[in-house]
Structure 1
Amino acid sequence: MGLGPSPRASCSLGPLRRVGPWGPDHTGEGPVAGDLGRLYGRAGLADTMLQVEAEHGDITEVDVDAIVVNLFEGVRDPGGATGAVDGALDGAIADVIGSGDFTGELGSSTLLYAGDDLAATRVLVVGLGDRDDVDLDAVRRAAGTTVDALGGTEVDEAATIVHGGGIGGLSPRASARAIAMGAISKAYRFHRKTNGDEGPDLQRLAVVERSEDKLAAVRQGLAAGRTVANAQAVTRDIASFSGEEAAPAAIAGTIEAAAEDTGLDCTVWGPEEIAEQRMGGVQAVSRGSEREPRFVQLEWAPGEADRTVCLVGKGVTFDTGGISLKRSSGMDEMRYDKHGAASVVGTLLAAAELELDTRVIGLTPFVENMPSGSAIKPGDVIKMRNGSTVDVINTDAEGRLILADALDLARERDPDATVDLATLTGSVSVALGTQAAGLFGNDDELVAELETAAQATSERVWRLPLFDEYEQQLDEGAVGDLQNVGGRNAGASVAGKFLEHFAPEDGWAHLDIAGVAWNDDKPYLNPDYTPKGATGVGVRLLVDWLEDP
């Protein structure tokens, strides 16, 4: 990650086949995998993907370990499906409401045990919050609450109604999509634990729709939701691999395998091709590592595309800061400094599976930023792909150097829009904390489109400025055309201003996701369905934007 303190802020996607960095069919032998492939094998991924499927029927008659209904906050007399279940429980839900133990607050739940009048043995009631405020994020949160509440029980199989699809006024398709996203996201785990803890016990969640007329819409919504949630899981996997596992060549091998399974075109450049492409930034950052860089290009090209979009992602597989060494506290989390590239990969996989009408090109440089005798040093001047010369003032501002080369390549592709994602600066975390990504851009219409998608998917963004005056911070004292840092003030905006030198002259946006890419012990956006670790941020937002430009 760039300047400032480090913020602590399958592969066909249905069903998804998640793979390790040694590729889906490798046993660990060979130059890509090394010893780690033999050590972990394909079981190295703690694959706890929850099965979420549609089912036609009456929730009171479904024979599972638990059924799930909902309650709006403030409701004293439950109706609809919740009312029917309450009747079968002889008013047990109403009794809990009357006691004040359960209010229907969003994110809350209560577990009851059923009698002989229900096929299920348990009833979970989840809160949807205020009826006037119910939206798709409330549905995602209710689904995440379901997985969390049942995770410590003996429930293997549950069935839920379609939250918000009745008096909530949400469409069955949209609600079903949100349920799949929230449930699968909350069930996600990535670990190397040997104590038998493999995450939530829930293995299957049936989404029950009584109306045959709505069943097709529910199935369509679940299929789309599974695709996006599974793509987000792949993103989290890639971001979560340790620096030892995820050498540039290894991670490129994973992406190649995923692309082959999904129908994406994939081209991987090694050191020779990177040199031929004059990618001075990529070459400079990778110099200190024994592990050679890779540049991965993915493309989804439908038969008749309505537009072309370039997605660019920062892929620093591990960031020590280089010669400008980071402090040791929190450095272990720099495994996720490749999250921007991971989000691009996940979005491309989803675009292919959803067969979107947009041509999508993904450009992802992968490097390791290490200190050594051959590493780039403060004071070095490097020549970038577009011919500009850059004074390296701080080697921990490496992400912008590799993004610059990728953005220049994107400019050559002449897309209708370009969006880059990067865990770029600690400054954006100071400004926005863990509640929003920083959004920058030179195209107001594109920025507005991304803001709309962010609102729809609850992957918050907040626009920050690219004032012309920030240019002076990059010019001061520079030997070359510009320097790679500009002091402490407005660090996130100055970094964006640096990228603007290399980006397309219009139709470009930059997302600094440093504060929202990793969920640890701080309050994080969407806690009800975002487990700790890599968040997969950007996938939901970008897919929504690509679907509805």
Structure 2
Amino acid sequence: MKFSIKSVNPEKQRSACLVVGIFEPRRLTDAAKAMDKLAEGYISTLLRNGDMEGKAGTTLMLHKVPNTLCERILLVGLGKEKELGDKEYRDSIRAAFKVLNGTGAADAAVFLNDVSVNNRDIAWKVSQTAIVAMESIYRFDQLKSKAEEKKPHLRKVTLGVLNGLQPELAAGEEALQQGLAIADGMKLAKDLGNLAPNLCTPTYLAEQARDIAKAHKLKVTVLEQKDMEKLGMGALLAVARGSRQPAKLIALEYWGGAEKEKPVVLVGKGITFDTGGISLKPAAEMDEMKYDMCGAASVLGTLTAVAKLGLPVNLIGIIPTTENMPGGNATRPGDVITSMSGQTIEILNTDAEGRLILCDALTYAERYQPEAIVDIATLTGACVIALGHVASGLLSNDDGLAAELLGAAERAADPAWRLPLWDEYQEQLKSNFADMANIGGRAAGTITAACFLSRFTKKYRWAHLDIAGTAWKSGKEKGATGRPIPLLTQFIIGRALKTSPADLKRND
């Protein structure tokens, strides 16, 4: 699907389908008014007759509207004008593209970017339109023997702007490219998350990282077991002991900023399947544990988006990846292991494995002398209980970094919520036999998991995103969501905007 943005009057636009908005109750947007005037009141007459109220997310397709140059006009409900916020706007865009994809229209002109969304500029609306539109055509059917028949679908989308000035159009064009890059990163992450765990192994993730590095001229390093043994990564290797699949530690380096600029490091949890190990999970819904590598997928997706945009930043992605399986050689509850940092850990529950692979990756990241580190992990079921499937959990040892991430989350419409990281919670990790235990009990499980990680991040600014509730959906719509790639990419875009273009070293 190809996108473009241009300043054009809707009544002069030739298109297989032209999309305009309707506010509740039966109020036409400026673009809809222009089309109604051209059609000599045809649209307003339909609304008065009760064909549509304008409720958010509702649609009405009109064919052969008098005097118009388009084959169809799609009316999209936007709800009450004063209440049009992020959710209502995105829902309306989603509804529009659901209908468009079900028609034979090969192209469409969408005039929904001029409506006023609370505290949002045209760049935000354009970016969100691109992301939602690309999400609407996402399918994962490559593992089916017979793919479902594909109906004719959109090949070209024009985002129309009424009376657009050059600065506004330029901002819209930049936002469009950002939205499409984010959508590409999300597609990659969703494909990896949805892939069966017998196919998406640690070795496969390493191969994908090499392919991304080749496509975007990045540096890639893949550590094998013997390399990790030399570095003393006892925590990561302890998780891998029960699996026949070899563990990997993947590092991707994007150097788009100044040579002396310290990089931001993203660390993604890459458990390609999590049985719980000896502390075996219940059988129900265990198939969804293939999504325990969505943190790793989000790192690969974000690096892809950043590389496509050519942002003037230095960015490192680190992915510790393994399976967590039971077996004769698997780590047991009661074992004491030594992490790369030298700190010892008593294993009380082998199903709290994500923090073990992350802690060694966080120590490994020190070699890059990072400006900041953000780790991303489907870490705790407790986060789902606390925040549901709406917001990712955010914990940090630095208020400025936390504020930066929350700002990016708000801008990207990819919500996060900060939880406390107080010293009082560290008490729950006390062990009689090691420096710390790997769990702190049922109470405040998301916080104590972050407290565990914080013990390995004292040398730099660090934040932790718990995406257990946001990385995938269960039930009828089961599948990876691609979150929090919008948040992470917006975070990096924000940093790029603060960077001087002088003396930059590009990846070419």
Normalising by structure 2, we get a TM-score of: 0.90
More displaced 10-residue stretch of structure 1: 108-117 or 241-250: 108-117
Q: Are residues 86 and 167 of structure 1, via their aligned partners in 2, closer, same or farther at CA, if it must alter by over 3 Å? A: farther
Q: How many residue pairs are counted as aligned between the two chains?
A: 490
Matched letter for residue 234 of structure 2:
G
> Which of 325, 345, 356 is the aligned partner of 2:280?
325
Q: Are residues 161 and 323 of structure 1, via their aligned partners in 2, closer, same or farther at CA, if it must alter by over 3 Å? A: same
Mark the runs of 5 or more structure 2 residues left unpaired by the alignment: 496-508
Larger RCO (CA under 8 A, 6+ residues apart) = 1
Structure-2 residue corresponding to 1:385 = 340
> Which of 426, 429, 454 is the aligned partner of 1:474?
429
Q: What is the rounded CA distance, in whole Å, between the counterparts of 1:120 and 1:140 in structure 2? A: 24
SS at match of 1:548: helix
Aligned ranges for residues 1-80 of structure 1 at < 5 Å? 50-55=1-6, 57-74=8-25, 76=27, 78-80=28-30
More displaced 10-residue stretch of structure 1: 66-75 or 126-135: 126-135
Structure-2 residue corresponding to 1:205 = 157
Shift of 1:168: 8.0
Structure-1 residue corresponding to 2:45 = 95
Structure-2 residue corresponding to 1:31 = none
Answer yes or no: is 1:454 the counterpart of 2:397: no
Q: What is the rounded CA distance, in whole Å, between the counterparts of 2:457 and 2:198 in structure 1? A: 32
Aligned ranges for residues 16-415 of structure 1 at < 5 Å? 50-55=1-6, 57-74=8-25, 76=27, 78-134=28-84, 138-164=88-114, 171-191=121-141, 192-193=143-144, 194-198=146-150, 201-209=153-161, 211=163, 213-214=165-166, 215-304=169-258, 307-415=262-370
Structure-1 residue corresponding to 2:503 = none
Structure-2 residue corresponding to 1:526 = none
Verify the 8 A CA contact 1:139 1:179 in the aligned structure 2.
no
Verify the 8 A CA contact 1:391 1:482 in the aligned structure 2.
yes
Answer yes or no: is 1:535 the counterpart of 2:462: no
Q: Are residues 504 and 103 of structure 1, via their aligned partners in 2, closer, same or farther at CA, if it must alter by over 3 Å? A: farther
Shift of 1:316: 0.5
Q: What is the rounded CA distance, in whole Å, between the counterparts of 1:415 and 1:544 in structure 2? A: 19
Verify the 8 A CA contact 1:73 1:129 in the aligned structure 2.
yes
* CA-to-aligned-CA distance 1:301-341 (integer Å, 9 cap, x gap): 12426552111110011111111111111111111110011
* CA-to-aligned-CA distance 1:221-277 (integer Å, 9 cap, x gap): 222211111111111112221111111111210111012111222111111212222
Structure-2 residue corresponding to 1:32 = none
Matched letter for residue 421 of structure 1:
I
Matched letter for residue 54 of structure 1:
I
Verify the 8 A CA contact 1:312 1:421 in the aligned structure 2.
yes
Shift of 1:365: 0.8
Shift of 1:217: 3.8
SS at match of 1:180: helix
Verify the 8 A CA contact 2:61 2:72 in the aligned structure 1.
yes
Identity rate of aligned residues, in percent? 38
Answer yes or no: is 1:416 the counterpart of 2:371: yes
Q: Are residues 71 and 169 of structure 1, via their aligned partners in 2, closer, same or farther at CA, if it must alter by over 3 Å? A: farther
More displaced 10-residue stretch of structure 1: 384-393 or 115-124: 115-124
Structure-2 residue corresponding to 1:38 = none
More displaced 10-residue stretch of structure 1: 165-174 or 335-344: 165-174
SS at match of 1:243: coil
Structure-2 residue corresponding to 1:39 = none
Shift of 1:542: 1.2
Matched letter for residue 256 of structure 1:
R
Q: What is the rounded CA distance, in whole Å, between the counterparts of 1:437 and 1:254 in structure 2? A: 26
Verify the 8 A CA contact 1:162 1:176 in the aligned structure 2.
no
Verify the 8 A CA contact 1:54 1:206 in the aligned structure 2.
yes
SS at match of 2:341: coil
Answer yes or no: is 1:433 the counterpart of 2:433: no
Q: What is the rounded CA distance, in whole Å, between the counterparts of 1:167 and 1:376 in structure 2? A: 53
Q: What is the rounded CA distance, in whole Å, between the counterparts of 1:136 and 1:199 in structure 2? A: 30
Matched letter for residue 207 of structure 1:
L
More displaced 10-residue stretch of structure 1: 352-361 or 135-144: 135-144
Q: What is the rounded CA distance, in whole Å, between the counterparts of 1:339 and 1:198 in structure 2? A: 28
* CA-to-aligned-CA distance 1:209-230 (integer Å, 9 cap, x gap): 4657444443332222111111
Matched letter for residue 430 of structure 2:
D
* CA-to-aligned-CA distance 1:382-415 (integer Å, 9 cap, x gap): 1101001111111111100000001112234321
Structure-2 residue corresponding to 1:491 = 445
Q: What is the rounded CA distance, in whole Å, between the counterparts of 2:149 and 2:236 in structure 1? A: 40
Q: What is the rounded CA distance, in whole Å, between the counterparts of 2:235 and 2:397 in structure 1? A: 23
Q: Are residues 369 and 200 of structure 1, via their aligned partners in 2, closer, same or farther at CA, if it must alter by over 3 Å? A: farther
Q: Are residues 137 and 260 of structure 1, via their aligned partners in 2, closer, same or farther at CA, if it must alter by over 3 Å? A: farther
Shift of 1:157: 2.4
Answer yes or no: is 1:445 the counterpart of 2:400: yes
Q: What is the rounded CA distance, in whole Å, between the counterparts of 1:491 and 1:268 in structure 2? A: 32
* CA-to-aligned-CA distance 1:47-96 (integer Å, 9 cap, x gap): xxx332335644334333311111233453x2521112223444343234
Shift of 1:165: 5.7
Q: What is the rounded CA distance, in whole Å, between the counterparts of 1:241 and 1:200 in structure 2? A: 26
Q: What is the rounded CA distance, in whole Å, between the counterparts of 1:463 and 1:166 in structure 2? A: 29
Verify the 8 A CA contact 2:257 2:313 in the aligned structure 1.
no
Q: Are residues 99 and 455 of structure 1, via their aligned partners in 2, closer, same or farther at CA, if it must alter by over 3 Å? A: farther
Verify the 8 A CA contact 2:106 2:152 in the aligned structure 1.
no
Q: What is the rounded CA distance, in whole Å, between the counterparts of 2:262 and 2:85 in structure 1? A: 30
Q: Are residues 98 and 168 of structure 1, via their aligned partners in 2, closer, same or farther at CA, if it must alter by over 3 Å? A: farther
Verify the 8 A CA contact 2:89 2:117 in the aligned structure 1.
no
Q: Are residues 120 and 442 of structure 1, via their aligned partners in 2, closer, same or farther at CA, if it must alter by over 3 Å? A: same
Matched letter for residue 399 of structure 1:
G
Aligned ranges for residues 503-542 of structure 1 at < 5 Å? 503-521=457-475, 532-542=478-488
SS at match of 1:230: helix
